[in-house]
Amino acid sequence: MAYRGATAREKAHAMDVEAGLRENDARLSALSDQVSLLKGLATEIDGEVQSQNSFLDTMGGSLAGAGGALERTMAALEQMTARGGARFGLMVAAAVVLLFFATRYAVKLANAP
């Protein structure tokens, strides 16, 4: 930093320029660190989004399959009720009532001292 032949004003100006450059370099380095951190976070978020999208796609397929099975079951029940008429309805109601009382009895036995 030898400023031979320069006036005091020129030397002071040159020192101010160098100090400003050093400050800019320090701020640029800090900004670079922040950008690197944000890039890492964005990469992690992207990976998480990809994982969740894959999970949702799989889950949607499973739910579609379950919906199809439910539709087939409902169609089979409609056919059975159409063939069996009132007798089938009474049998189902009796089975539900019997199941209710059996469950209630089992719970009472389990809670008895």
User: What would the pLDDT profile of 74-98 be if each residue is shown by its tens digit?
Assistant: 887 777 767 766 677 778 889 999 9
pLDDT tens-digit readout, 27-70? 999 999 999 999 999 999 999 999 998 888 887 777 777 888 88
Q: How far apart are CA 45 and CA 20, in angstroms?
A: 37
Q: How far is CA 35 from CA 18, 27, 46, in A?
A: 25, 12, 16
pLDDT at 2 over 60: no
The token pair that represents 13 in the structure block: 């100006």
pTM of the model: 0.45
Contact 15, 2 (CB under 8 A): no
Q: Is 6 helix (H, G, I), strand (E, B) or coil?
A: coil
